[in-house]
C-alpha cells in the first residue's frame, strides 16, 4: 500500500483543503490554516492515500471550528 | 497450499449418545474430497468441528492456509442481509473484523463529528488498507460481475433475498474460489443449482487448486469432482482414496473386512473363555494347574480390555417394494394437449412399462403436467386419458402437502385416503421400518428430514397400489444410499414411470425423455437434455 507522502512535499489535496478552509474561515489567517492542515496531514500519515484528502479536511475543519471563540 | 488433519475426534450428543468417535483423516493439499453419509450420521457436525464452530470433546483438528466455509443455508437466505454484508461474512476473519471496526467508526462519526471519532475512523481506514480490504473490494467486484453480471458498487446494498437460490450459491462460490482461503468447506454447494449451474460448479471445482471438502448428494457431481471420499458411518469416518466410481466396491470390501475381523475376534474370545473354564476345573483337582488358570484369566481379561474391533456399520435398510401391475398397453395418451399459457399443444403416447424422464427448464409446466395426469385440476385444452387399469400415484416435492404438516406418519397411514385403504398400527409400523423411518412414526410430518419425508411419500405410493408412478423430483432430498434404493425399486416396478428430475445420474435409468423447451415446444428425445434455459415470461 502506498503510504502518504511526507508533509514537506505538499500535495494537491492539502492545497485544495487549505484554500477551501480559508474561504470558510475568513477570520483566520491563511498561514495558520495551512499550519493546521499540515499538522493534520502529518497525524493522519498512514491512512490510505485515496481517503487522505477527505480525512485531512474534516479533521482540520473540526480543529479550526473548535479554535474559534 | 492448505490441508486439514483430523485426529482422534470425538463428539457426544447432548443426550449422551456418542455421535462420532476416533475420527481420523487427512485431506492433503489440493485434494477434492467428498463427505458422504446418511442423513443424521454426523456430516454437518463434523464440518462444524473442522470449521471451528464446535470444540471436539477429544482429539484435534489441524489446518493451514485459511479456511473458507459455505454453509448449507446459503441459497435460502430470507432475512435482510445485503450483498456487501454477505461477502464480508465470507471473508477471512481479519478482513471481517476490520470491516466491522470501519462500520462502527462511520456510524459513530455520523452521530458525533468530533476529533476522537475522526481519528478512530482514520485508524479504521488504515487498518482496512493494512488487512487487504481494498484488494478484497476489487475481488468482490470481480465476484459480483461473474455471479450477477453487475459491478459491486451497483449491487452491494441489494438484499440477498431478492436473489434466487442459485444466484446466492454462485455468489458465495465465486467469492470463496477467488478469495485467499486455501481450504474450502462446502456444505451442499449444488443445492438450488440447475443442471447448467451444476456443470459450471463442477468445472470450477476441477479447475481450482485449493483444497476442497464438500458434502453433496448429487452422484454425478461426486463422480466427476471427488478424488477421494470420506464416509461418515457407524460413528466414525473412513477414507476411500479413489473416486466415487470405485466407491461402492471399496465400501462393500471394507464392510466385509470389518465383519471378518469381528468374526475372528469372536472366535478367539470364545476359545479363551473355553480354555479358562477347562483350566478352572483342572485347577480344582490339581494345584499345579492353578497358576496356569490364573495366567489364562489374566490373558482373557487383557483380551477383553483391548475390546473388539469396530462393528460393521448397520446397513441402511430401505426396502421399497413397488409392485404395480399389468395395465393396458397404452398407459397415457395425450392429443393436442396444452396446459393453458404454458406450452404449445403436443401429442404423446406412453406405453406400459415405459420409463419416461420429464426434463426441461424451470417454469415450463413439467410439474403441472404430472399433476394433470394425477387427476388434479389443471387448466388445459386438448385431450388426455389413461389406459385401462392405470392407477396414477403421485409423488410431489416435499413442501407440497400442507395438510400433512401437523400429522404423524402412523396417523396418515392409519386413516388412509381415497384410493388408499388405511392400515392398522402393526402393518404401518412394519412398513415404516422397511423404509427406515420407524423411529419417526410418531413425529409430526414437518419435523421429518427431507429424506425421511421423501421416503414416506414413496411408501404411500407402494400402499396405494399405483400402476403409473408420477414422480416430481423424487431424489432431491434423498441421500445417496436412499436414492439408489429408490432406483432399484423403480427397476423392479411392474408398471409405467414418469419422473421430473434434474438429477443427471437418476435420469440415466430412463429410456425416453420428454423435454419441455423454453420456447413452449414439447419434444421427445432419446438422450437427456438439461440445458434448456429458464422460461422468461412477463410477470
* pLDDT tens digits, one per residue of B433-470: 888 888 888 888 887 776 778 788 888 888 888 889 99
Q: CB B507: neighbour CB atoms within 10 A?
A: 21
Pair B275, B365 in one domain: no
Cα separation of the two ends of chain B: 48
Does residue B538 lie within any of the structural domains? Answer: no
Per-domain residue ranges for chain A? 12-67
* B115–A contact, CB cutoff 8 A: yes
pLDDT band per the 50, 70, 90 thresholds, residue B399: low
CB contact under 8 A, B115 and A63: yes
Pair B342, B463 in one domain: yes
From B81, B200, B190, select the one nearest B476 (Cα to Cα): B190
Does residue B321 lie within any of the structural domains? Answer: no
Pair B218, B346 in one domain: no
CB contact under 8 A, B119 and A59: yes
Name the residue range of residue B140's domain. 83-179
> Predicted ipTM?
0.75
Does residue B17 lie within any of the structural domains? Answer: yes
Compute the mean pLDDT over every residue in chain B, rounded to the nearest whole number.
Answer: 86
CB contact under 8 A, B125 and A46: no
- The reported pLDDT for the residue numbered B466 is 86
* B122–A contact, CB cutoff 8 A: yes
Give A55's contacts in chain B (Cβ within 8 Å).
118, 121-122, 125
Pair B162, B188 in one domain: no
Long-range contacts of B21-25 (CB under 8 A, 24+ apart): B21/B235, B21/B236, B22/B59, B22/B236, B23/B59, B23/B232, B23/B236, B23/B237, B24/B237, B25/B230, B25/B237, B25/B238, B25/B239
Per 3-state DSSP, what percentage of chain A is helix, strand, and coil (rounded to 5)? 65, 0, 35
Beta carbon pairs, A and B, within 8 Å: 33
pLDDT band per the 50, 70, 90 thresholds, residue B388: confident
Pair B379, B343 in one domain: yes
Within 13 Å and on the Cβ side, how many CA atoms surround B458? Answer: 35
Q: What is the mean pLDDT of residues A2-19?
A: 64
Please report where in the chains the cell 435482510 appears, as a residue.
B80
Pair B401, B346 in one domain: yes
Q: Domain boundary residue among B290, B306, B322? A: B306
Pairwise CA distance, residues B54 & B63, whole Å: 15
Please report where in the chains the cell 407402494 appears, as a residue.
B462
Pair B404, B510 in one domain: yes
pLDDT reading at B76 higher than 90:
no
Our count of domains for chain B comes to: 4
Contacting B with CB below 8 Å, chain A residues are 1, 43-44, 46-48, 51, 55, 58-59, 62-63, 66
* pLDDT tens digits, one per residue of B476-529: 777 787 788 788 888 878 889 999 988 888 888 898 999 988 888 888 988 888
Does residue B534 lie within any of the structural domains? Answer: no
* pLDDT tens digits, one per residue of A36-49: 888 888 888 888 88
pLDDT band per the 50, 70, 90 thresholds, residue B229: very high
* B110–A contact, CB cutoff 8 A: no
pLDDT band per the 50, 70, 90 thresholds, residue B400: low
* pLDDT tens digits, one per residue of B212-222: 999 988 889 99
Going by DSSP bridges, is the β-strand pair B183-187/B330-339 parallel, antiparallel, or unpaired? unpaired
Pairwise CA distance, residues B113 & B123, whole Å: 15
* B116–A contact, CB cutoff 8 A: no
pLDDT band per the 50, 70, 90 thresholds, residue B10: very high
pLDDT reading at A1 higher than 70:
no
B515: cell is: 423435454
CA of B114 vs chain A CAs: smallest distance (Å): 7
DSSP string, B287-317: HHHHHHHHHHHHHHHHHHHH-PPPPPPPP--
Pair B374, B497 in one domain: yes
Pair B140, B261 in one domain: no
Does residue B297 lie within any of the structural domains? Answer: yes
Suggest the residue from B129, B130, B135, B138 to mutate for an interface test with chain A (most A CBs closer than 10 A): B129
CA of A44 vs chain B CAs: smallest distance (Å): 7
Query: Residues B294, B296, B297, B299: is their CA dihedral positive or negative?
Result: positive
Phi, psi at residue B490, to the nearest 5°?
A: -65, -35
Q: Output the CA–CA distances (angstroms, integers) from residue B124 to A58, B103, B114, B155, B502, in the order listed.
A: 15, 9, 15, 24, 48
pLDDT band per the 50, 70, 90 thresholds, residue A2: low
CB contact under 8 A, B122 and A1: no
* B161–A contact, CB cutoff 8 A: no
Pairwise CA distance, residues B487 & B507, whole Å: 10
Q: CB A51: neighbour CB atoms within 10 A?
A: 18
pLDDT reading at A8 higher than 70:
no
Does residue B43 lie within any of the structural domains? Answer: yes
CB contact under 8 A, B129 and A63: no
DSSP string, B476-528: TT--HHHHHHHHHHHHH-BSEEEEE---HHHHTT-SEEEEE-TTS-EEEESS-
- The reported pLDDT for the residue numbered B397 is 67
Q: Output the CA–CA distances (angstroms, integers) from residue B352 to B4, B325, B466, B495, B498, in the order listed.
A: 52, 10, 13, 6, 11
Residue A50 and residue B127 in contact, taking contact as beta carbons nearer than 8 Å: no
Q: What is the mean pLDDT of residues B197-210?
A: 91
DSSP B186: E
Q: Measured between CB atoms, which of B113, B122, B129 is closest to A55?
A: B122
CB contact under 8 A, B118 and A66: no
DSSP string, B333-378: EEEEEEETTT---EEEEEETT-EEEEEE-TTSSHHHHHHHHTT---
CA B205, distance to chain mean position in Å, is 18
Does residue B104 lie within any of the structural domains? Answer: yes
Give the CATH number for residue B5. 3.40.50.300
- The reported pLDDT for the residue numbered B176 is 92
* pLDDT tens digits, one per residue of B323-357: 777 888 899 999 999 888 788 899 999 999 899 99
Give A51's contacts in chain B (Cβ within 8 Å).
122, 125
Q: Measured between CB atoms, which of A43, A48, A58 is closest to B134?
A: A48
Pairwise CA distance, residues B35 & B237, whole Å: 9
Pairwise CA distance, residues B369 & B173, whole Å: 34
| CA angle B384–B387–B392, rounded 5-degree value | 85
pLDDT band per the 50, 70, 90 thresholds, residue B539: very low
CA of A63 vs chain B CAs: smallest distance (Å): 7
Tell me the β-bridge partners of B332.
B350, B386
Give A62's contacts in chain B (Cβ within 8 Å).
113-115, 118
Residue B498 and residue B322 in contact, taking contact as beta carbons nearer than 8 Å: no
- The reported pLDDT for the residue numbered B538 is 42
Does residue B408 lie within any of the structural domains? Answer: yes
CB contact under 8 A, A47 and B125: yes
Give A58's contacts in chain B (Cβ within 8 Å).
113, 118
pLDDT reading at B475 higher than 80:
yes
Pair B366, B498 in one domain: yes
CA of A43 vs chain B CAs: smallest distance (Å): 9
Pair B342, B421 in one domain: yes
CB contact under 8 A, B118 and A55: yes
Pair B54, B138 in one domain: no
Amino acid at each position: 500500500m502506498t503510504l502518504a507522502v511526507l508533509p514537506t512535499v505538499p500535495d494537491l489535496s492539502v492545497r485544495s483543503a487549505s484554500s477551501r478552509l480559508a474561504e470558510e474561515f475568513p477570520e483566520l489567517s491563511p498561514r495558520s490554516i495551512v499550519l493546521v492542515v499540515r499538522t493534520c496531514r502529518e497525524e493522519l500519515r498512514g491512512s490510505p492515500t485515496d481517503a487522505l484528502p477527505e480525512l485531512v479536511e474534516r479533521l482540520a475543519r473540526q480543529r479550526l471550528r473548535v479554535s474559534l471563540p | 497450499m492448505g490441508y486439514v488433519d483430523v485426529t482422534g475426534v470425538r463428539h457426544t450428543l447432548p443426550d449422551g449418545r456418542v455421535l462420532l468417535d476416533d475420527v481420523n483423516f487427512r485431506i492433503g493439499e489440493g485434494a477434492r474430497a467428498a463427505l458422504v453419509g446418511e442423513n443424521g450420521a454426523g456430516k454437518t457436525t463434523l464440518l462444524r468441528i473442522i470449521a471451528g464452530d464446535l470444540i471436539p470433546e477429544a482429539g484435534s483438528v489441524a489446518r493451514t492456509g485459511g479456511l473458507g466455509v459455505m454453509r448449507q443455508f446459503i441459497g435460502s437466505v430470507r432475512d435482510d442481509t445485503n450483498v456487501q454484508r454477505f461477502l464480508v461474512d465470507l471473508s477471512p476473519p481479519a478482513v471481517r473484523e476490520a470491516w466491522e471496526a470501519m462500520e462502527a467508526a462511520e456510524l459513530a462519526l455520523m452521530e458525533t463529528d468530533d476529533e476522537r471519532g475522526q481519528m478512530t475512523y482514520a485508524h479504521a481506514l488504515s487498518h482496512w488498507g493494512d488487512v487487504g480490504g481494498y484488494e478484497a473490494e476489487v475481488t468482490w467486484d470481480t465476484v459480483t460481475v461473474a455471479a450477477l453480471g453487475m459491478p459491486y458498487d451497483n449491487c452491494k446494498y441489494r438484499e440477498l433475498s431478492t436473489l434466487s437460490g442459485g444466484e446466492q450459491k454462485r455468489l458465495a462460490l465465486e467469492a470463496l474460489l477467488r478469495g485467499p482461503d486455501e481450504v474450502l468447506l462446502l456444505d451442499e454447494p449444488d443445492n438450488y443449482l440447475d443442471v447448467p449451474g451444476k456443470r459450471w460448479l463442477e468445472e470450477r471445482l476441477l479447475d481450482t487448486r485449493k483444497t476442497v471438502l464438500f458434502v453433496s448428494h448429487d452422484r454425478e457431481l461426486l463422480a466427476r469432482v471427488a478424488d477421494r471420499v470420506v464416509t461418515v458411518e457407524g460413528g466414525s469416518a473412513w477414507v476411500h482414496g479413489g473416486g466415487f466410481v470405485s466407491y461402492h466396491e471399496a465400501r462393500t470390501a471394507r464392510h466385509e473386512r470389518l465383519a471378518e475381523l469381528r468374526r475372528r475376534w469372536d472366535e478367539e474370545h470364545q476359545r479363551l473363555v473355553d480354555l479358562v473354564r477347562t483350566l478352572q476345573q483342572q485347577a480344582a483337582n490339581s494345584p499345579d494347574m492353578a497358576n496356569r488358570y490364573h495366567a489364562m484369566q489374566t490373558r482373557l481379561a487383557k483380551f477383553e480390555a483391548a475390546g473388539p474391533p469396530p462393528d460393521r456399520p448397520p446397513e441402511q435398510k430401505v426396502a421399497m417394494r413397488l409392485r404395480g401391475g399389468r395395465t393396458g398397453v397404452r398407459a397415457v395418451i395425450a392429443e393436442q394437449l396444452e396446459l393453458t399459457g404454458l406450452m404449445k399443444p403436443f401429442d404423446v403416447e406412453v406405453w406400459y412399462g415405459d420409463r419416461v424422464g420429464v426434463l426441461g427448464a424451470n417454469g415450463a409446466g413439467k410439474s403441472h403436467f404430472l399433476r394433470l395426469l394425477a387427476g388434479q385440476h389443471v387448466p388445459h385444452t386438448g385431450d388426455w386419458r389413461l389406459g385401462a387399469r392405470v392407477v396414477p400415484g403421485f409423488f410431489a416435492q416435499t413442501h407440497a402437502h400442507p395438510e400433512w404438516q401437523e400429522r404423524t406418519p402412523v396417523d396418515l397411514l392409519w386413516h388412509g385416503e381415497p384410493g388408499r385403504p388405511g392400515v392398522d398400527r402393526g402393518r404401518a409400523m412394519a412398513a415404516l421400518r422397511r423404509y427406515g423411518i420407524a423411529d419417526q412414526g410418531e413425529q409430526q410430518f414437518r419435523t421429518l428430514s427431507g429424506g425421511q419425508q421423501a421416503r414416506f411419500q414413496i411408501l404411500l405410493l407402494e400402499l396405494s397400489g399405483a400402476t403409473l408412478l408420477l414422480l416430481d423430483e423424487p431424489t432431491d432430498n434423498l441421500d445417496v444410499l436412499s436414492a439408489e434404493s429408490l432406483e432399484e425399486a423403480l427397476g423392479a416396478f411392474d408398471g409405467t414411470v414418469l419422473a421430473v428430475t434434474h438429477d443427471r445420474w437418476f435420469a440415466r435409468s430412463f429410456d425416453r425423455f420428454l423435454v419441455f423447451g423454453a420456447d413452449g415446444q414439447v419434444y421427445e428425445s432419446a438422450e437427456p437434455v438439461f440445458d434448456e434455459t429458464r422460461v422468461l415470461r412477463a410477470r
